[in-house]
Amino acid sequence: MTDEFDAYMPELIETRRRIHRRPETGWTEFETTALVAQRLESLGFEVHLGLEVIDPERVMGRSAGEAQAAQERARRAGVPEELLARMGGYTGCVGVLRTGRPGPVCAFRYDLDALPITEPTDPASGHLPAVEGFASVFPGKMHACGHDNHAAIGLAVARWARDHEADLRGTLKLIFQPAEEGARGAAAMAARGVVDDADWLICGHVGTTAGPGELQIADRGFMATTKFDADFKGCPSHAGSCPEKGRSALLAAANAAVMLSAIPRTSQGDTRVAVGKLVSGSARNITPADAHMEFEVRGETAEANEFMTERAEEVVRGAAAMTGVGVDLRRVGQGSTLVTTQAALDLLYEAARAVPGMKVMAAPPCPGSEDCTVLMHRVAERGGNPGYFLFGCSHHGHHRPDFDTQDTVSDKPGFEMWVQVLKRILG
């Protein structure tokens, strides 16, 4: 049985696979931003790029060197100089469709970035992108979280809106956010004001707790989170001939890693602390002068996360002082808890029930983090209605080399859901 949405699917799938083949990690999405911008402009959207939608003062976890190198790669891949100039070194894009008729501002948010994971490319692996020939061509990078699906669906929604513009009122704002992984990009977009006029902000995700044929509406969940990088700076020495002259950054970081894990639990809500990376030292017999550590804390409530954040900073600075080592501690990511309104919940349930053949249900509270929550809080604080839903696929876990979304099955309900939401807000 075909319907009006089928016509959009070939382009959606092709776009998604085009993005999947050339995955770009956070703050390096120059090709993806260009693809989105060109498509939106061709559809008549007003397009804002890079520094127009990003406050560089609030950017977290961006490597200038990597951004520079990625820009070069994009240039070689044919991204027009004019677009790169408009971006100004920063990725991300917002497309606006003004109907000219009075009505609310309806914002949808999609994310663009991939992960530092190597995708299987051997068809014998059975991994669908490898079998069908759209696996990543960049070793060490992979869309293993479905942001490629999100971006492609966003563009299909753009086309649908253009096709049905006559039936709409108010303003549609499609936000394509960089650097969701690590919860790095949303704060810079929020600070630039991209959702400040939004009456509605709807966000969504493929997979996670939603299985095939399911649409889940979220009324709570996500942990608030703070991401940190710490660089300890000690003093080298020959560990045999003059250990007393050395100050081991490795020892400081090791003690910090243990004591971070030992921050007490809090009655303010469930918490997390994870030291995910530690790299220190050069030769076996040289007191390590440098240690790089990446860690994060989370809290079920803002208070709980704030507690963890403050204690973590105390621990890291104390661990350095304890061993006579210096430390550069930086917050490199920030996420909030999920916030929504009854109006948004009602609208999302109604929209979901209009998608044929789907099982509609409440989403279980998610212990992960999503930085669209930062945008959602901004909207809620200004009296708008933020909402969040999940559309399902089958998977063994996100962020894995074998992650796949079965796009030809999963993406149509996702696309339809967004259209149903759009119809209800701007219809």
- The distance of closest approach from Cβ of residue 117 to its own copies in the complex, given in angstroms and rounded to an integer, is 8
Per-residue binding string, its own copies, 297-326, x by CB under 8 A, is: -x--------x---x--xx-xxx-xxxx--
Q: Which of residues 72-111 bind its own copies (CB under 8 A)?
A: none
**282 part of the interface to its own copies, by CB under 8 A:** yes
Between CA 265 and CA 301 the distance in angstroms is 13
Give the chain's end-to-end CA distance (angstroms, integer).
25
Which CB, 15 or 255, lies closer to its own copies? 255
Q: What tokens does 121 get?
A: 């490319």
Between CA 343 and CA 356 the distance in angstroms is 22
Alpha-carbon dihedral 392, 393, 398, 402, rounded to 10 degrees: 180
> For 192-337, where are the E strands, in sequence order?
200-206, 214-217, 224-233, 271-280, 290-299, 326-335
Q: Which of residues 16-45 bind its own copies (CB under 8 A)?
A: none
Of 395, 244, 263, the residue nearest 323 (C-alpha)? 244
**261 part of the interface to its own copies, by CB under 8 A:** yes
| CB proximity list for 2: less than 8 A, separation 6 or greater | none
Q: Which of residues 388-407 bind its own copies (CB under 8 A)?
A: 397-399
Which CB, 193 or 243, lies closer to its own copies? 243
Q: Which of residues 123-142 bind its own copies (CB under 8 A)?
A: none
Q: What is the DSSP string of 105-133?
A: EEEEEEE--BBS-PPP--GGG--HHHHTT
**205 part of the interface to its own copies, by CB under 8 A:** no
Q: Which of residues 369-388 bind its own copies (CB under 8 A)?
A: 369
Q: Which of residues 322-351 bind its own copies (CB under 8 A)?
A: 322-324, 333
Size of the site for its own copies (CB under 8 A): 74
Between CA 135 and CA 119 the distance in angstroms is 7
- The distance of closest approach from Cβ of residue 255 to its own copies in the complex, given in angstroms and rounded to an integer, is 6
Which CB, 312 or 345, lies closer to its own copies? 312
Angle value at C-alpha 322, between 290 and 298, nearest 5 degrees: 75
Among 128, 235, 259, 329, binds its own copies (CB under 8 A): 259
Among 101, 265, 330, 353, binds its own copies (CB under 8 A): 265
